[in-house]
Amino acid sequence: MRALAFFTALLLFAGCSTAPVVLTEMDSASTITLEKGESFTVSLYANASTGYTWEFLRAPDKRICKIAASRYVPSSTDPYFAGAGGKKQWIFQAVAPGTTMIRLCYRRNWEKNVRPAKVFDLHVEVK
């Protein structure tokens, strides 16, 4: 009985908070719907030591969804681990109602006539 009460309280508590929304490569070609002021993170694998970087082919319309921050998070706990990959992350914030699109590509910027190794597309709707 005590375990049931604890589990019920845990579910109620979990329902009161909103977990941060983190989108990955698996979420490419999807749509996210937000309320004004809400935020989400796009977190994509990256390894700058290979020459590849993520770059915007289509940045979001700043009047609808702005980039609040961006950072690189190494996978290794040792920051001097040469050649290790990590995650490139962008935090976006919904600014005003509307729709916009985000398109990122993972490529070497000196290779001009080569298809990107990866593409990430996201449709953003702000209510």
Give this prediction's pTM.
Answer: 0.81
Query: Over the Cα atoms of the chain, what is R_g?
Result: 18
Choose which CATH entry (2.60.260.20, 3.30.40.230, 2.60.40.2020, 3.90.1150.10) describes domain 20-126.
2.60.40.2020
> Which run of H or E residues covers position 69?
strand 65-74
User: What local confidence, expressed as pLDDT, does residue 38 receive?
Assistant: 97
Please state the domain extents for the chain.
20-126
Average pLDDT over residues 42-55: 94
pLDDT one-digit tens code per residue, 59-98? 999 999 999 999 999 887 666 677 778 999 999 999 999 9
| CA proximity to 36, closest of 93, 90, 92 | 93
52, 114 contact by CB (below 8 A): no
Q: What is the largest CA-CA distance in the chain?
A: 66
User: What local confidence, expressed as pLDDT, does residue 89 receive?
Assistant: 98
